[in-house]
Chain A
Amino acid sequence: MCDHHDKLRSNNRDLQSIEKQWDRREFFKKTSLGIGAMALGSLLQSEKLWSAVNPVAGPIDSLNSFAKNKLGLPHHLPKAKRIVYLFQSGGPSQLDLFDYKPKLKDMFGQDLPDSIRAGQRLTGMSADQTAFPIAASTLNFKQYGESRAWVSDAMPYLSEVVDDLCFIKGMHTDAINHDPAITFFQTGSQQPGRPSIGSWISYGLGSDNDNLPTFISLVSKNGSGQPLYSRLWGNGFLPTEHQGVQFRSGKDPVLYLGDPENYDGNDRRQMLDYLKKLNGMAYDAFGDPEINARIAQYEMAYRMQTSVPEVTDTSDEPDYIFDMYGPDSRNPGTYAANCLMARKLLEKDVKFVQLYHQGWDQHGNCPGGVKYQSKNTDQGTAALIKDLKQRGMLEDTLVVWGGEFGRTVYSQGQLTETNYGRDHHPKAFTMFMAGAGVKPGFTYGETDDFGYNIIKDPVHTHDFQATLLHLFGIDHERLTFKHQGRRYRLTDVHGDVVKDILV
Chain B
Amino acid sequence: MAQKNSTPWVDYVIFGLTVFLVFCLIFESFIDLPSLVAWLGRWHPLILHFPIVLLLMAAVIGLLNQIVPKLLLTIATLSALVTAITGFFLGTESVPKGDLIFWHQWMGAGVAFLAVVWYWLSTNHLQQTYLVKGIQVVLILLVGLTGHYGGMITHGEDFLALPRSKKLEKIPEDPLIYEHIVYRVLDNNCIGCHNPNKKKGELLMTNINELLQGGESGPALVLGDPGNSELIRRLHLPMEDEEHMPPDGKKPLTEDEIQILERWIALGASDTLKLSHLDNSEPLAGMVKKMMDSGTENSWAKLPKVADSTLQNLASDYVTIKRIASNSQALSISVFLPPEYDPKNITDLKRIANNIVELDLSGIPLGEKEMELVALCKNLEWLEVDRTPITDMEFAKIIGLENLRVLKAYETGISDESVAVLKDFKGLKSLYVWETQISDQGLSELREALPSLHLDYGIDPELKTEFIEKDTIVDSIQ
Contact = CB atoms under 8 A, between A and B. Distances in A.
A36 B47 CA distance: 11
Contacts of A75: 325-326
Nearest to B93: A53
B318 interface: yes
Given A65-B321, A323-B468, 17 more contacts: A40-B43, A42-B309, A51-B35, A52-B35, A64-B315, A72-B326, A72-B327, A74-B325, A74-B326, A210-B317, A303-B317, A349-B336, A375-B474, A375-B478, A378-B474, A390-B410, A392-B386
A391 interface: yes
Interface stretch (B110-118, B223-231, B237-245, B456-464): B456-464
Contacts of B458: 390
Contacts of A279: none
Contacts of B362: 347
A63 B43 contact: no
B443 to A, nearest CB: 15
Interface in B317-342: 317-318, 320-327, 334, 336-337, 339
Contacts of B323: 66
Nearest to B405: A395
A236 interface: no
Contacts of B471: 323, 326-327, 379
A211 interface: yes
B104 interface: no
Contacts of A320: 459, 464-465, 467
A107 interface: no
A156 B321 CA distance: 41
Given A64-B312, A74-B326, A375-B477, A38 B46 contact: yes
A395 B311 CA distance: 26
Contacts of B317: 62-63, 210-211, 303
A49 B36 contact: yes
Nearest to B289: A503
A63 B319 CA distance: 9
B432 interface: yes
Contacts of B45: 39-40, 43
B365 to A, nearest CB: 14
A257 to B, nearest CB: 14
Contacts of A473: 325
Interface residues of A, number: 63
A306 interface: yes
Nearest to A156: B473
B452 interface: no
Nearest to B459: A390
Contacts of A207: 320
Given A77-B293, A153-B477, A208 B334 contact: yes
| Nearest 3 A/B pairs, CB to CB | A39-B46, A320-B464, A323-B467
A199 B334 CA distance: 22
Interface in A311-327: 320, 323-324, 326-327
A371 B478 contact: yes
Given A53-B38, A390-B459, A210 B320 contact: yes
A207 B320 CA distance: 8
Nearest to B33: A53
Nearest to A325: B467
A66 B318 contact: no
Nearest to B360: A349
A303 B336 CA distance: 12
A323 B463 CA distance: 11
A268 interface: no
B408 A392 contact: yes
B326 to A, nearest CB: 5
B339 to A, nearest CB: 6
Nearest to B458: A390
Interface residues of B, number: 57
Interface in B70-129: none
B155 interface: no
26 contacts: A36-B42, A39-B46, A48-B39, A49-B36, A51-B35, A63-B316, A66-B312, A66-B321, A67-B308, A78-B325, A153-B477, A156-B473, A209-B320, A209-B334, A211-B318, A320-B467, A323-B467, A349-B320, A375-B477, A386-B459, A389-B456, A390-B410, A392-B386, A392-B408, A392-B432, A503-B286
A477 to B, nearest CB: 12
Nearest to A348: B336
Contacts of B49: 39
A65 B312 CA distance: 8
A473 B468 CA distance: 40
Contacts of B174: none
Nearest to B95: A487
Interface in A366-422: 371-372, 375, 378-379, 386, 389-392, 395
Interface string A303-346: 10011001000000000100110110000000000000000000
Interface string A188-208: 000000000000000000111
Contacts of B15: none
Given A48-B35, A66-B308, A391-B386, A208 B322 contact: yes
A391 B432 contact: yes
B305 to A, nearest CB: 13
A77 B315 contact: no
B42 A40 contact: yes
Q: B297, B336, B478: which has the most chain A beta carbons within 10 Å?
A: B336
A36 to B, nearest CB: 7
A348 B286 CA distance: 32
Contacts of A66: 308, 311-312, 315, 321-323
Contacts of A65: 315, 320-322
A296 interface: no
B430 interface: yes
Contacts of A52: 35
Nearest to A368: B478
A48 B327 CA distance: 22
Nearest to B321: A66
Interface in A39-83: 39-40, 42-44, 48-53, 62-67, 69, 71-78
Contacts of B297: 77
Given A64-B315, A67-B308, A154 B35 contact: no
B470 interface: yes
